[in-house]
Amino acid sequence: MGITKNFWIGLVLFIITSLSVNAQDVSVKLGKTEIALNEYFTITIRVANDRLKKYSNFPDIEGFNKRGTSTSTSTNIVNGRMSSTQSLTQNYQAIAKGNFVLRPFTMSINGKQTRSEGTSIKVGEPVQRQSGGVFGRDPFDDFFGNRSNKTEFVDVKADAFAALTVDKNEVYVGEGFTATLAFYVAASNRAEMRFHDLSNQITEIVKKVKPSNCWEENFSIDQIAGDPVKINGRNYTQYKIYQTAYYPLTAQDIEFPSVGLKMIKYKVAKNPSFFGRNRQEDYETFYSREKIVKVKALPAHPLKDKVAVGNYRLDEVLSVTSLETGQSFNYAFNIVGEGNISSIEAPSPPENENFDFYEPDVRQNINRGRGKVSGTKSFNFYGIPSEPGTFDLGAYFSWVFFNPSSETYDTLKSELTLQVTGESRKNLSIASNDLGDFYDRISKADNQLRSLNEDQWINIVINILAVFILGTTIYLFFKKPTA
């Protein structure tokens, strides 16, 4: 027949793969475009016939604050065929009344780019939510003989707290420490709460806690997510609000003041009913404790005010291990580790007759995650050897830093060797410098010493001629013309 078994297997696999790819259906749906000030605008992403595995950030809307997300999953069986849909909804709360614009945006959902053309959003007056059941009261009140329309609400004590924590209580100048402001909710908490105007609150909190004498590397928390933690044997959910790494620039203690986090907290109805309103919005502010981080001066060292502080290692790369004089090579001095990567300065090879080194190309890669700042700073040098020989690059490339873990100064030093062959270029370099005709005539000039007195008669003749010329000029100037 000419059609092999492998062909049929391949065809079946192709069809299965095509069906699985096409089966996944992703979409973005926008919520109501006319809402009240106390209602949410929503953006929902949906994935049909697959799980929602990965998605990019929801867009920011000017005039709105993000107010948490909700998920839902539905499964349908129609004509014996099963389909499922998973949805994730981002809530947005308007800051004020007015007309707002959601610009066109694109989101990556399970690796597929999905575009929305955006929309206009109109925000009006707050709506009055119905506080009772049908016709404003609970119809079961008549059945139980309770005709009162007034609901009494009581406060529920929150088992939660706000805290600003640091991973180190004492550091050296230049040594980094991570500060985290978070809200902790105990597993036993029964009070219903949610964040209030968080973006503006964080802006004001940062102004209060940010030290003036520190370099900062912000971890940029975009979305608030809960992480389970255990504190003193109790289970909590930690909501990180602000996290950054600070690097003290002076030996002055860092003082963090107490700051308040205002939360929306709901009171509950004392006598809840089936149809009535059973909670009432209220506010409670949770305060963090003051915190002090001790800052120590670095030990005595000639480079004490210039060295970087951190835990580093050297990763070096040499383009060639042997070459001739006059040929070029590249040498990469890569500093890898944990610390203030941005402040690292390049090693400076000493001036020498063996090599010509040029200013390096500099690249840096900084990673901020898991409460640490780490990365790589690369210095790529371009060099040309002038003399033959075997050269230890450690004599030219070294970098001193202070390691706070060992509390000692350490040096990253090249361990590579470069073999150079060929003729010396030192004399060639001198010959290539043209010093001019004056120096070219030196070899031909008479080197006999002569007295300057031998040329005095020439000076006398020159002086006589000068006086004669001056006198002739005066005579011709004052001579009266004849009639």
- Residues 143 and 116: beta-carbon distance below 8 Å: no
Distance CA 11, CA 3 (A): 11
State residue 132's pLDDT score: 40
**111-163 pLDDT tens trace:** 899 999 999 999 998 886 544 433 334 444 444 444 445 778 888 899 999 99
What letters, b where the CB count within 10 A reaches 16 and e where it falls short, cover 338-357?
Answer: bbbbeebebbebeeeebbeb
**164-217 pLDDT tens trace:** 999 999 999 999 999 999 999 999 998 888 898 888 999 999 999 999 999 999
More confident residue, 156 or 67: 156
Q: Is the pLDDT of residue 402 over 80?
A: yes
> Residue 211 CB: number of other CB atoms within 10 A?
19
Distance CA 297, CA 304 (A): 9
Mean pLDDT confidence for 88-100: 90
pTM listed for this prediction: 0.59
